[in-house]
Amino acid sequence: MTDSQLIQLIKQGNTELYSELMRRYQRKILAFVYHMLKNSHMELIAEDLCSETFYKAFRSLHSFREVDASFSTWLYTIARNTVLSELRKNRAGNVSLEESGYTPVAPAEVAPEQAALRKERMNLVREAINNLPEKQRSALILREYDQMDYQEIAVILDQSVSSVKSLLFRARSSVKLQLESYFYEPEVEEQAERV
Amino acid sequence: MNCREAQDFIPLLWDAPPTDPKRIELERHIAGCSYCAAEWAIWQESNELMQDLRMEISAERAEAVNQKVMERIYLESPWLMPGDGKSAGSTTMFRRRLSLWIACFLAVFLSSFLYFTLFKTPANTSSAQSGIIESGVAGLTLEWTSSYPATESGGGIIEPLVVNIGPTHPQYWMVLSMLGVALSIFLLTRLNRYRRQ
Ligand SMILES: [Zn+2]
């Protein structure tokens, strides 16, 4: 069954099918919300914001038109807006991912010192992504983690395709610049702190 | 393609499909230039690191969100629940409560009606009267006049007047209880219509 068939049935009163519709996107949307958040207690907030997103989507399902966007991009748009309004609320609490208790799993087969080096670089990249302006960060996350095409990203960010390209270009350049400093400058710690 | 062009093209062509002619040209340059190859390596590394930072969400975690949303939907709009299961309980309880209200209103109506018909007879008006006016007046120089009955007293102390004010309490009760019954029946039919939709 396609999304639009399912949505049609839900609109006709088969509310229980909304659970089925959510199941198609819940992991993606939750991951997207995770990636967008960089605040403390993010695990709690991410789940709350994700359910808030799906609840809002259900409430405005009647206003959803397939012609404007696919259901998936529509959901991402709602998720992004929900995260942004939450971030605006707690702009003060600006804690990085590492302090929130999240640690990415390093590949098991590499040697310990190499793993440490890799972890250091990973932190650099994460810092760089967190410090990107919101639109650049969103574009990068949608492209890299959700494998969206330019057109879809353009719809979600409400931008033209060419500005999405330039957002991605700038985002990638800043991430790479951050990493480059690690390759060329010996005082990495200082560099990271200054940025 | 020279080195400067190559440097500019790397971020632009990063996303381009491998068949893109510009990208093929760029890759050819990188293959023959160690400086640009190093640059390309940094790009690749930053991309790999970015992929490593990607978070995978477990299915259970996402399913918990799903349940939370469905619970919230049903909590805030109980009539959307599917026909069998919990929903029947909540609506029948609501209906039972409404019926109880109707019964109460009807009881009030009946008792007030009985009271009205049995006690409010012309012979027994005083029970349905209210509004006692104090009218004790001393002295003989009476300039005071009144439209009320029993003012023909020649002087001295006159008896307190009793004024008729209608409608009396039982009638109010009757009207109110009828309104209550009407409101409950209206709610019941609305509920039924909602359920059928
Ligand atoms: Zn070169």
Query: pLDDT tens for residues B77-120?
Result: 888 887 654 444 556 667 777 788 888 888 888 888 788 777 76
Q: How far apart are CA B193 and CA B197, in angstroms?
A: 6
Residues facing residue B162 across a β-bridge: B132
User: Is the pLDDT higher at A133 or at B92?
Assistant: A133
Which pLDDT does position B65 carry in this prediction? 93
Give the dihedral sign, CA B117/B120/B123/B127.
positive
pLDDT the model gives residue B14: 81
Q: How many helices (H) and strands (E) in chain A?
A: 10, 0
> Over pLDDT 90: what percentage of chain A?
45
Q: What pTM, to 2 d.p., does this model score?
A: 0.64
Question: Which neighbouring-strand residues pair with B161?
Answer: B133
Cross-chain Cβ contact B53/A54 below 8 Å: no
B130-175 residue pLDDT tens: 555 555 555 555 555 555 555 444 555 656 666 555 556 667 778 8
Chain A / chain B CB contacts < 8 angstroms: 105
Question: How confident is the model at residue A90, as a pLDDT?
Answer: 74
Q: Are B26 and B9 in contact (CB under 8 A)?
A: yes
Q: Do the chains contact at A179 and B51, CB–CB below 8 Å? A: no
Output the pLDDT for position A108. 52
Candidates A42, A102, A125, A150: best to mutate against B (most CBs of B within 10 A) is A125
What is the CATH code of the structural domain delimited by A1-92?
1.10.1740.10
B94: Cβ–Cβ under 8 A, 6 or more apart, which residues? Answer: B191
Q: How far is B54 from chain A (nearest CA, A)?
A: 7
**DSSP, res B150:** S
State the complex-level ipTM.
0.78
What was the pLDDT predicted at B87? 47
The domain ranges of chain A are 1-92, 112-185
What single DSSP character describes residue B16? Answer: S
The minimum CA-CA distance between B60 and chain A, rounded to whole Å, is 9
Residue B53 CA to ligand 1 center (angstroms) comes to: 30
Cα distance between residue B21 and residue B5, in whole Å = 15
d(CA B128, CA B130): 7
* A32 interfacial to chain B (CB closer than 8 Å): no
CA A142, CA A153: separation in Å to the nearest integer? 7
Which residues of chain B lie closer than 8 angstroms to A152, CB-CB?
Answer: none
Question: Could you tell me the two tokens for A119?
Answer: 């972890």
Per CB-CB distance under 8 Å, the chain B contacts of A104 are 52-53, 55
Q: Is the peptide bond before B160 cis (omega within 30 degrees of 0)?
A: no
Query: How far, in Å, is the centroid of ligand 1 from the Cα of B38?
Result: 9
Asked if residue A8 lies in contact with residue A63, where contact means CB atoms within 8 angstroms, the answer is no
Q: What percent of chain A has pLDDT over 70?
A: 79
Burial of A102 per CB tally in 10 Å (0-12, 13-18, 19+): middle
Q: Give pLDDT, residue A180.
A: 80
Q: Does A180 touch chain B (CB under 8 A)?
A: yes
B66, A23: Cβ pair inside 8 Å?
Answer: yes
Written out in words, the top-level CATH class of the domain with range A112-185 is mainly alpha
Q: What is the mean pLDDT of residues A82-102?
A: 64
What average pLDDT score do residues A161-189 get? 80
| CB within 8 Å of chain A, chain B residues 47-86 | 47, 49-57, 59, 61-66, 68-70, 72-74, 80-82
Out of A46-55, A83-92, B45-54, pick the least confident. Answer: A83-92
* Torsion angle (degrees, nearest 10) of CA B1, B5, B8, B12: -30
